[in-house]
Amino acid sequence: MPLALLALAVGAFGIGTTEFVMMGLLPDVADDLGISIPAAGHLVSAYALGVVIGAPLLAAATARMSRRTVLIALMGLFVAGNALSALAPDQHWLLAARLLSGLPHGAFFGVGAVVAAGMAAPERRARSVSLMFLGLTVANVVGVPAATLMGQHLGWRAAFLGVGAIGVAAIASLALLVPHDRAQATATGLRGELAALRSLPVWLALGTTVAGFGALFAAYSYITPMLTDAAGYAETSVTLLLALFGVGATAGNLLGGRLADHSLRATLFGGLTALAAVLALFPLLMSTAWSAAAAVTLLGTAAFVTGSPLQLTVMEKAASAPSLASSANQAAFNLANAGGAWIGGLALAAGHGVTSPALTGAALAVLGLAVAATAYAVDRRRVPRGSRERVVAGNVPQDAQAVRR
- Please indicate, yes or no, whether residues 163 and 273 belong to a single structural domain of this protein: no
**Mean pLDDT, the chain, as a whole number?**
83
Considering the domain architecture, whether residues 49 and 166 belong to the same structural domain is answered as yes
Residue 62 has pLDDT above 70, yes or no: yes
Query: DSSP for 85-145?
Result: HHH--SHHHHHHHHHHHHHHHHHHHHHHHHHHHHHS-GGGHHHHHHHHHHHHHHIIIIIHH
pLDDT given for residue 399 in this prediction: 37
Top-confidence residue, 404 or 58: 58
Same domain, 235 and 159: no
pLDDT score of 192: 60
Q: Within this chain, do residues 151 and 289 fall inside the same structural domain, yes or no? A: no
As a whole number, mean pLDDT of residues 112-141 equals: 84
Does one domain contain both 129 and 223? no
Q: Per the domain annotation, does 405 fall within a domain?
A: no
Tell whether the model's pLDDT for residue 23 goes beyond 80: no
Mean pLDDT check: name the lowest of 16-30, 155-169, 252-266, 348-362. 16-30
Q: Is the pLDDT assigned to residue 190 strictly greater than 70?
A: no
pLDDT of residue 402: 37
- State mean pLDDT over 180-202: 64
Claim to verify: residue 40 and residue 134 sit in the same structural domain? yes
Q: How many domains does the chain divide into?
A: 2
Q: Which domain holds residue 360?
A: 194-393
Average pLDDT, stretch 385-401? 38
Question: Which of 156, 179, 202 marks a domain boundary?
Answer: 179
Residue 133 sits in the same domain as residue 24: yes
Q: Are residues 138 and 256 in the same domain?
A: no
Count of C-beta atoms within a 10 Å radius of residue 174: 24
Task: Output the pLDDT for position 182.
Answer: 61
In a domain, 404, yes or no: no
Percent of the chain whose predicted confidence (pLDDT) is above 90:
33
Between residues 272 and 188, which one has the greater pLDDT? 272
187 in any annotated domain: no
Confidence at residue 21, expressed as pLDDT on a 0 to 100 scale: 82
Q: In this predicted structure, which of 37-41, 63-67, 221-225, 348-352 has the lowest mean pLDDT? A: 37-41
In a domain, residue 247? The reply is yes
Q: What is the pLDDT of residues 339-373, one digit of tens each?
A: 888 888 888 888 888 899 999 999 999 999 999 99
pLDDT: which is higher, 404 or 203: 203
What CATH number is associated with residue 240? 1.20.1250.20
Question: Is residue 32 over pLDDT 80?
Answer: yes
Residue 128 lies in a domain: yes
The pLDDT assigned to 183 comes to 56
Q: Give backbone dihedrals phi and psi of 312, rounded to 5 degrees, phi first.
A: -70, -35
Please answer whether residues 28 and 49 qualify as being in contact, where contact means their C-beta atoms are separated by less than 8 angstroms: no
Residues 161 and 244 in one domain: no
Domain boundary among 155, 179, 203: 179
Answer yes or no: is pLDDT of 397 > 60.
no
In a domain, 403, yes or no: no
Q: Is 160 a member of any domain?
A: yes
Which helix (H) or strand (E) segment holds residue 218: the answer is: helix 200-220
Contact 58, 74 (CB under 8 A): yes
Please indicate, yes or no, if residue 399 is contained in any of the structural domains. Answer: no
- Report the distance separating Cα 100 and Cα 88, nearest Å: 12
Query: What's residue 393's pLDDT?
Result: 32
pLDDT greater than 80 at residue 45: no
The pLDDT confidence band at residue 187, using thresholds 50, 70 and 90, is very low
Q: How confident is the model at residue 134 (pLDDT cuts 50, 70, 90)?
A: confident
Residues with Cβ within 8 Å of residue 310, at least 6 apart in sequence: 205, 208, 209, 212, 213, 268, 329
Q: For Cα atoms 45, 46, 51, give the angle at the middle one, nearest 5 degrees.
A: 95
Query: Which has more pLDDT, 212 or 327?
Result: 212
pLDDT for the residue numbered 208: 93
Q: Which residue has the higher pLDDT, 208 or 182?
A: 208
Q: Are residues 229 and 299 in the same domain?
A: yes
User: What average pLDDT does range 195-217 have in this prediction?
Assistant: 86
Both 142 and 268 in a single domain?
no
Q: What is the pTM of this model?
A: 0.77
In the predicted structure, residue 272 carries a pLDDT above the cut 90: yes
Q: What is the arithmetic mean of pLDDT over 257-276?
A: 92
More confident residue, 389 or 277: 277
Domain end marker among 149, 179, 209: 179
pLDDT at 189: 53
Same-domain check for residues 225 and 298: yes
